[in-house]
Amino acid sequence: MKITWLGHAAFRLDSAKASILIDPFLTHNPGFAGLDRKDMTKGVTHILLTHGHGDHVGDTVELARETGATVLANADLAAWLGTKGVDKLEMGNTGGTIHFEGFTVTFTNALHSSAQVTEDGVSHALGSANGLMMHFEDEASVLHMGDTDIFSDMKLIHELHQPDVGIVPIGDRFTMGGAVAALACQRFFDFKTAIPCHYGSFPIIDQTPEKFVAGMDGTRTRVVAPQPGAAVEV
């Protein structure tokens, strides 16, 4: 499996039977600037969303139209996307599992919010924020934590799913910071590989993964902090 960071919390996962975009915030994403949109989205079969904030929904509507990909989101967010013209939708909610050819996705807990503010200034709640637990046939299992703080029931996510790879938000202010994220990984998970995200994109969040990398020093988890556009093999 190949995992490519697209800046912020956006990723592309290429497995044997699927090419998946997660939280495809591409336009206005400073980390995506300079990358080839056509190349990064070519052949995409699925788009998975952790929650409804604009920096995670991102280009979903346009990409669904361009690629014909199936979009997975929580029920409220999926219904909202349906009003925007997205027609290939799979909806679920916390604890539920959706089955696709070659992989499954389970909605896990995350401590965060989920909404969109429209042009008239009205905030529309779009369901709960989630992590996404992905199990693939004969390949590594991957947990994208979404935007979250540390919480003790992370240990249940590990017990239930045994994820091999953790995609971990570390930027602080809107998610846990690097040191707390490292504590979460050590106390509640046993990742083979951890990939930090949600940093370096906006001035008000941490610019580097240094705190997370330092916090994970000495653990058996391989920490990989790629440049945007670079792929990690797992």
3-state SS, one letter per residue, for 69-103: CEEEEEHHHHHHHHHCCCCCEEEECCCCEEEECCE
Residue 119 confidence class, pLDDT cut points 50, 70, 90: confident
Q: What is the residue extent of each domain of the chain?
A: 2-233
pLDDT tens-digit map of 40-79: 999 999 999 999 999 999 999 999 999 999 999 999 999 9
213 vs 209: CA distance, rounded Å = 6
Strand 19-22 with 11-14, pairing = antiparallel
Structure tokens at 82: 């349906």
In this prediction, residues 196-211 reach a mean pLDDT of: 98
User: What is the pLDDT at residue 118?
Assistant: 76
Residue 121 confidence class, pLDDT cut points 50, 70, 90: confident
* Position 92 pLDDT exceeds 90: yes
pLDDT tens-digit map of 15-49: 999 999 999 999 999 999 999 999 999 999 999 99
User: What is the pLDDT at residue 34?
Assistant: 92
98 vs 80: CA distance, rounded Å = 19
Q: Is residue 191 classed exposed, middle or buried when 0-12, 13-18 and 19+ CB atoms within 10 A define those classes?
A: buried
* H/E element, 5: strand 2-5
In this prediction, residues 144-163 reach a mean pLDDT of: 98
For the domain made up of 2-233, the CATH class stated in words is alpha beta
Please give the share of the chain, as a percent, with pLDDT higher than 90. 96
* Position 98 pLDDT exceeds 80: yes
